[in-house]
Amino acid sequence: MAAYKSIVILTGAGISAESGLATFRDAGGVWAKYDYRDVATPEGFARNPLLVHQFYNHRRTEVQKVAPNAAHVALAELQAGLADRGANLTLVTQNVDNLHEAAGSTNVVHMHGELLRYLCARCGASGPWMHDLSTDLACPDCARTGGMRPDVVWFGEMPYHMERIADALESADLFISIGTSGNVYPAAGFVAQAYQAGAHTIELNLEPSEGAHMFKERINGPASQIVPAFVRTLLET
């Protein structure tokens, strides 16, 4: 395998599934149990903030009970190993959990926000938040109530850090997608952007995603097995 200098990795819910966190679009996933319009849109929050807070308070509690798995750890090791040889890794995740950071990764690009942060709809402030949220809580910045929400990107909202991601894709010589469904845009379009920029493209997934045909290489299996093996190969080149 070639010695790559600028790698972009995109991770999705599949990488955290083996840590015990539910995926979203699989059979039995989160969206099979909840209507996203009720709990993951600005309109749903306006209609029933109590329901939205109950949904995310439960998820926040669950996130804090789980630990990174071997795939998260391997990506942290890859980041450190590449840095030692002067190469760069941009780790982009669609996940709102903190398992990449818990495994040791740094500068993770959370394009869909972070569950363990709050966002004030009144003043736009954001910061770390480990506890339950409610409409009664006052924002630590503006002191107003009624606007505290999880700092996650809802349907109909613009994902975070898109300019930074586009710049990384433009300069990438390797793009890897791990544990994604391949049908959520704009992330599903990253492989095409990377390919057009001249990057080699690889999908690591439990099973082929909807966009698997767009990748030059495809490796299927549990993330906790195939990601560490792939990282070892990458670091040995």
Catalytic positions are: 112
* Contact criterion met (CB below 8 Å) for 53 and 94: no
Distance CA 63, CA 60 (A): 5
For tokens 């942290």, name the residue: 76
Question: And the tokens for 149?
Answer: 């929400």
Give CA–CA dist 48/52, Å, rounded: 7
Q: How many CB atoms within 10 Å of residue 54?
A: 15
Alpha carbon distance 6, 53 (integer Å): 39
Distances in whole angstroms, Cα of residue 206 to Cα of each of 2, 71, 104, 216, 222: 24, 12, 23, 17, 5
Whether the link from the prior residue into 42 is cis, omega within 30° of 0, is no
